[in-house]
Amino acid sequence: MAMRTRTWEVVMLLALLVPSTLGWEYEKERGEEHEEEKGGIFLMRNSKQVMKTEGGEVRVMRGDDMRKESSGSMHIGFITMEPNTLFIPQYIDASLILFVRRGEMKIGWIYKDEMVEKNLKIGDVYRIPAGSAFYMVNTGHGQRLQIICSIDTSESLGDDIFQSFFIGGGTYPTSVLAGFDIRTLTTAFNVTVDELRSVMGRQKGGPIVYLKGSDQPGKGVTSLMQLKQRIRSSEVEFWAEDEEEKENEPKQATAWTWRKLLNSILGENRKRKGAVRSPDSYNIYDRKPDFSNNYGWSVALDENDYIPLRRSGIGVYLVNLTAGAMMAPHVNPTATEYGIILKGTGTIQVVFPNGTSAMNTKVREGDVFWVPRYFPFCQIASRSGPMEFFGFTTSARKNRPQFLVGARSILHSTSGPELAAAFDVPEERLKKVIDSQGEGVILPSWPVVDSPFIKTVDSDMVMGFD
């Protein structure tokens, strides 16, 4: 009998704290579906295909217009590259923080006027500043590369998602160099018109292309690394439609032209005494959890953990919840949060400032959600299995979420006569309810108990589980 009374008091307190959530579930039971209108307003459903080729694609989900951050709007990008493909050299008007979801890759970019290359694997986080020329290669043998990235548009030119300025290219995509007068380019490169045209007009495979010699469905191109190696060994071959064209091309002039192209475009300095030391990647899976208990764990990277985040003003996090577990209701006082479900299913609940439900909707792998700064919210894994989600925050400072329920909550810390008066209940009764939860941060699943209230409304349905 004591157990039933205690459970009833917990349920009643939850009803006081989130009445609209329970009311929303009753509406669903009556068949009044508002999933799209009310239940999913903080889900980012607008996926735009920015580019697509035989070698891969880039999709972007735009940040919601409701968000008004001084740092500008953040978008979430998804890059997919087939095995042995190259994302050709470019720079964009936005900063990127890359997270390798699957596969292996090599990224080359200009750091302090020098060309640097880094090998990245699953779990690695890496930053590319706005305006820095870069390229990416899928180096995983027979494995598709999947990258999730934040796109910070605070330095962007306009309202578009981002603007690519392709350095390499030909007819598709067109290199930004092609916009200059032909005499300007021949003078700048110190080459003939024919030599310049033989380089500038050949690429037509798109922004993501297969490397030469791979088993691609279309025609491939020579990789940038191969070109550099051949230049160093004076064994440069040119892209040609057939062997006859290769034989007719001046090999020495071609090698010289490519050396000038690489030196001019990628900043390669063959006379430098030592290679510049660029920032390393940070593997989030190698980090010891900041919090862990029997119900899950969480990791958060800030500017003190990974210095490049300080320059971007963006934080990174990763959370894993066991089946049925809940990230306790909490609020981020310093940042807006973006999340991507990496695996599993569950529920995201968000609350408006006036205490009404802003969102209470189920999510699955691939879904993207965002929660505005100050809005209370929680994430709940379904009973069918664990849920893992990764994301970004709009602050690189140490994130100190304020938990509203649980052993480490604001309610627990402020428990006293003032809080009891606010709820208009005896202090002892309030304390009994608040102290009932012995866990903090990540909470166990909703218990299956015998209660008149639970019989009326199924516990899974009340808490948003499957």
| CATH at 454 | 2.60.120.10
CA distance 386 to 82: 29
| 371 and 295 both lie in a single domain | yes
Q: Which residue type, as a one-letter code, is found at position 48?
A: K
Task: Decide if 279 is inside a domain.
Answer: no
| 299 and 247 both lie in a single domain | no
pLDDT given for residue 456 in this prediction = 37
**pTM for the model:** 0.77
Whether the upstream peptide bond of residue 173 has omega within 30° of 0, thus cis, is yes
Torsion, CA 179, CA 181, CA 185, CA 190, rounded to 10: 170
Task: Decide if 87 is inside a domain.
Answer: yes
61-to-101, 309, 314, 338 alpha-carbon distances in Å: 17, 21, 17, 11
Domain that holds residue 205: 50-266
**What secondary structure does DSSP assign to 388-403, as a single string?**
EEEEEES--SPP--EE
| 136 and 255 both lie in a single domain | yes
Task: Decide if 210 is inside a domain.
Answer: yes
| 260 and 307 both lie in a single domain | no
| 315 and 371 both lie in a single domain | yes
> For residues 130 and 93, is the Cβ–Cβ distance under 8 A?
yes
Q: Which of 233, 266, 299 is the last residue of a domain?
A: 266
| 355 and 216 both lie in a single domain | no
**What secondary structure does DSSP assign to 104-163, as a single string?**
-EEEEEEETTEEEEEEE-TTEEEEE-TT--EEEEE-STT--EEEEEEEE-TT-SSSSS--
Q: Which of 266, 296, 320 is the last residue of a domain?
A: 266
Task: Decide if 43 is inside a domain.
Answer: no
| 29 and 56 both lie in a single domain | no
Which token pair is 396? 């690189």
CA distance 268 to 320: 43
| 249 and 331 both lie in a single domain | no
| 12 and 127 both lie in a single domain | no
3-state secondary structure of 31: coil
Task: Decide if 319 is inside a domain.
Answer: yes
| 111 and 239 both lie in a single domain | yes
Q: Which of 237, 266, 295 is the last residue of a domain?
A: 266
Domain count along the chain: 2
pLDDT in tens, the chain (466 residues): 444 445 445 444 544 444 333 322 323 333 333 344 345 789 987 788 999 999 999 999 987 544 444 344 689 999 999 999 999 999 999 999 999 999 999 999 999 888 899 999 999 999 999 999 999 999 999 999 999 999 988 888 876 778 999 998 888 999 999 999 999 999 998 999 999 888 888 888 999 999 976 555 544 334 444 444 443 443 333 233 333 334 444 444 444 444 455 555 555 444 454 556 788 999 999 999 999 999 999 999 999 999 999 988 999 999 999 999 999 999 999 999 999 999 999 999 999 999 999 999 999 999 999 999 999 999 999 999 999 999 999 999 887 899 999 888 888 788 788 888 888 999 888 888 888 888 999 999 876 544 444 443 333 333 333 3
Q: Which residue type, as a one-letter code, is found at position 265?
A: I
